[in-house]
Structure 1
Amino acid sequence: MFEVRAIQAEHGDALLVSYGDTEPHHILIDGGPRGTLPNILHVLEGCKSNGRVRLEALVVTHYDLDHIEGVIELLRAKPGWLEISDIWFNGFRHITPADVLGSAEADTLAELIEGKHPWNSQFGGGPIKVGDMHPLIMPGGLKVWVLSPDRDRLSRLAAEWGDGKIVPETSDPMPPRDLLGRKDEWPPSAFADLATAASRSDGSIPNGSSIALLLEFDEQRAILTGDAFASVVGDAIETYWDTAPVVHFLKVSHHGSKANTTDKLLKILQCKRFLISTSGKGPGHPDHVLIARLVASTEQPELIFNYDNERTANWRNPPADWPGFTATFPNPAECFVRIVLK
């Protein structure tokens, strides 16, 4: 068994990875913005075994509010039946020698972790970053490679944070609408125009520090990108492997922003199943250009959405003049979409 449940977290991420041959093991990646906790608890309660759930890791990819606030809510109100073996999060202490933390939310999260939960223990208490050629082997046999951040992106984050009290850029509860994506209207433009359209790369320092992971279980591979940069992920893959492994599932970076997924990366991954985690709230993701890139990258791809609403439902069927693809949406009775890899 190897599956990912993309929990509804508005414009954020909250992903539960479950795997195991004889007993299920679980990893929670991000917690969405404030208000996501009921959905997270509902999904976790459905995973109880003998009345308990154990997370082998709780991963916070970076400190933007649409990834971190739900984790803060969870740790503040952690139910007695939930056990957390390790928390993976690069705080200010992991990227500089200083003993202070950064933004208010990262500071709050650190207070909830320090002395109460193991913190990056699988990484010797140090930063989570690209580096080790050998995968981390999790309980139950899951293999984990870190694809982002690299040392350079952590250094940039440390420099931007300065004395640890200056927040890099902004972590507004409602991020500004993605540049150009705000102009997307239905129906989309001609496929050929969108698929070949150029776009600026993401320049956000917090997004550049996002943890991205490649997970492998029973020869099935998934990449969960957070908001990571395509260039960093691609460089890591080329560093780890002479010939890139086929990836069976990709959680598209930054909720479907065209600034975070490139044709070059898609060619490396050879993937056919793509998850877009967003309600469309705030930045108005996914961008039409991004969808066109995914469709152009392979024959008959599967586009998976964790919301079925006005913003996403337009993609239920290929628009006129577009190549074929299939679209998958959550069951109306569920607050997540399930992706089964085995």
Structure 2
Amino acid sequence: MYPARNGDAFLVDAGGPHILVDGGFASTYQDYIATDLALLAAHGGRLNLVICTHIDGDHIGGLLEFFSLNGPSERRGIEVGAVWHNSLRSLPTSTSRPGNVNDRMLLEAIRRRGYQDAAVASANPISARQGSSLGKLLRQYAYSWNSGDGTNCISDGTAPLSVGGNVGLQVIGPKPERLEALRDLWLREVRKLGYSGSLDASDLLDDAYEMWCASAPPPTVPTAVPIAASANLRLADVYTPDTSISNGSSIAFIISAGPTRLLFLGDAWAEDTVAKLKAMQPEAAPLVFDAIKVSHHGSLRNTSVELLSVADSPCFLISSDGSRHGHPDFEVLAEIVDRPAPFERQLFFNYETAATERLRAHASRSGTAFTVRVVDNKWIQVGGVQID
């Protein structure tokens, strides 16, 4: 779990196959990921799969850096078996108006603006040299993109993928309508700016779409009830469902390696995850995973009491330095550890925050043991192996 500031970046070693999930910001790749991938390549390894969960600056920036530097197929820095990434060309379109000079000028203006707006509040800005969308880079360098050329989307209807040995992935989100909602939002916004042209696939359109999505302003949501340090409100008192269309488009999935199962939630909406997990486990008992990557950096808008009633684990991963929106929210962390369980829970963070300090002083309401761990760019072992 890389130090990605307020973003996400994970490298999974599934006993041979390796999976890179998001890349944080460009400097996350430069400072941490690049060294690990160079070492992996030097030992004859490869990335079996790279996943960009959704188009947000704190998830996609490091992947832009990686794919822009990894080179064409004849001289890759490290081989990549497949890439999952939902861009505009991954969705069917019904609009086919002819374009004009003004349309192209508008798209060029969005492209020139680049990804910078997504990282204004971060200490890790995306590299200024990034002038292309991730989709364009994947096509330019001939990667296997969404099992082809990127014209298919990754959604909860995607067939399970085997990445070697007994390692596989099952997609549990997003629903296709979440991807279509993001596309439609983008189209409405550029129409307001005067765009009247086609949505037929093109590099320029891919660039404009991704760069706009990565820096789009978040939706207006109800303000959470302020929680004083001595307050005793529970997650159920303050939970407000996420309405970010971008977050709703996150790829959420389960990695299975033999009996070991890891649940990665990106920034997915809790309600979508609950519906899918309930369909997988009709019984009242929760699904127990070997590790759960908590959605949206521990935001109280993406983890509900109901979600925690259908999914549990002895290992929770929370990625955030608290620099944006105060993530993780203490109410989420307390709800995780307050529930009874037949095992001790370990909560792994990549930064100390006000929430981790407060959690250390918290006593589980159920008496279930838990441990707060802050890891410094070290491997976290899960799945039948004691975490050390």
User: TM-score scaled to structure 2, two decimals?
Assistant: 0.74
Q: How does 1:261-276 map to 2 (within 5 A)?
A: 261-276=303-318
Please, what is the CA RMSD of the aligned residues? 3.3
Q: Select which of 300, 319, 323 maps to 2:362.
A: 319
The residue aligned with 2:145 is 119
CA deviations 1:181-237 (Å, max 9, x no partner) are: 69556x4532xx224423211100010000011111121111011101111112222
User: Which range is displaced more, 99-108 or 242-251?
Assistant: 99-108
TM-aligned CA distance change 1:155 to 1:235, over 3 Å: same
Separation in structure 1 between the aligned mates of residue 173 and residue 89 of structure 2, nearest angstrom: 18
Question: Shift of the alpha carbon at 1:170?
Answer: 6.4
1:303 counterpart (340, 347, 356): 347
Question: Contact between 1:279 and 1:312, CA under 8 Å: does it hold in 2?
Answer: no
Cα gap change, 1:209/1:173 in structure 2, threshold over 3 Å: closer, same or farther?
closer
Q: Match for 1:275: what amino acid?
A: L
Contact 2:156/2:172 (8 A) holds in 1: yes
Structure with the higher strand share, 1 or 2: 1
Counterpart mapping for 1:236-275 below 5 A: 236-243=276-283, 245-275=287-317
1:159 aligns with 2:184: yes
Give the counterpart letter for 2:181 in structure 1.
R
Which blocks of at least 5 consecutive residues in structure 1 are unaligned? 1-5
- Once residues 120 and 95 of structure 1 are traced to their aligned partners in structure 2, the CA distance between those partners, rounded to angstroms, is 11
Q: Would you say 1:25 and 2:25 are equivalent positions?
A: no
One of 44, 47, 53 as aligned partner of 2:40: 47
The aligned residue for residue 221 of structure 1 is 261
Partners of 2:40 and 2:165 in 1: CA distance: 16
Corresponding pairs, count: 325
Q: Once structures 1 and 2 are overlaid, which stretch shifts more, 320-329 or 25-34?
A: 320-329
SS, match of residue 227 in structure 1: coil
Q: Distance in 2 between matches of 1:209 and 1:311?
A: 29
Distance 1:92 1:123 in 2: 12
Kindly report which structure 2 residues correspond to 1:55-66, keeping only aligned pairs within 5 A, or say none.
Answer: 55-66=47-58
Q: Distance in 1 between matches of 2:321 and 2:217?
A: 13
Q: Which runs of 5+ in 2 are unaligned?
A: 97-103, 116-130, 188-198, 200-204
Q: Per-residue displacement from partner, 1:257-299 (whole Å, max 9, x unpaired)?
A: 0000111111111323211011111221001111122122344
| Aligned counterpart for 1:13 among listed residues 8, 21, 36 | 8
Q: Contact between 2:239 and 2:304, CA under 8 Å: does it hold in 1?
A: no
- Counterpart-to-counterpart distance in 2, 1:235 and 1:200: 17
Residues 175 and 161 from structure 1, CA distance in 2 versus in 1: closer, same or farther, beyond 3 angstroms?
closer
102, 124, 128: which one pairs with 2:154?
Answer: 128
Q: Compared with structure 1, are the counterparts of its residues 151 and 172 closer, same or farther at alpha carbon in structure 2 (3 Å cutoff)?
A: closer
1:88-133 C-alpha deviation (Å, 9 max, x unpaired): 100101123379999855961112111411111179851100025x
Q: Is the 8 A contact 1:57 1:84 kept in 2?
A: yes
Percent identity, aligned pairs only, is: 29
Q: Structure 1 CA distance, aligned partners of 2:311 and 2:356?
A: 26
Secondary structure at the aligned position of 2:26 is classed as coil
Distance 1:318 1:114 in 2: 50
Q: Answer 1 or 2: which has greater helix percent.
A: 2
> Which residue does the alignment assign to 1:141?
166
Answer whether contact 1:7 1:337 (CA < 8 A) is retained.
Answer: no
CA 1:111–1:138 in 2, change beyond 3 Å: closer, same or farther?
same
TM-score, with length taken from structure 1 = 0.83
Shift of 1:16: 0.7
Is 1:329 the counterpart of 2:374? The answer is yes
Question: Could you tell me whether the CA contact under 8 Å between 1:221 and 1:249 is conserved in 2?
Answer: yes
SS in 2 for 1:338: coil
Cα displacement (A) at 1:172 = 4.5
CA contact (8 A) 2:46 2:78 kept: yes
Alpha-carbon offset, residue 242 of structure 1: 4.2
Return the alpha-carbon distance in structure 1 between the equivalents of residues 333 and 172 of structure 2.
Answer: 23
The match for 1:198 is 238
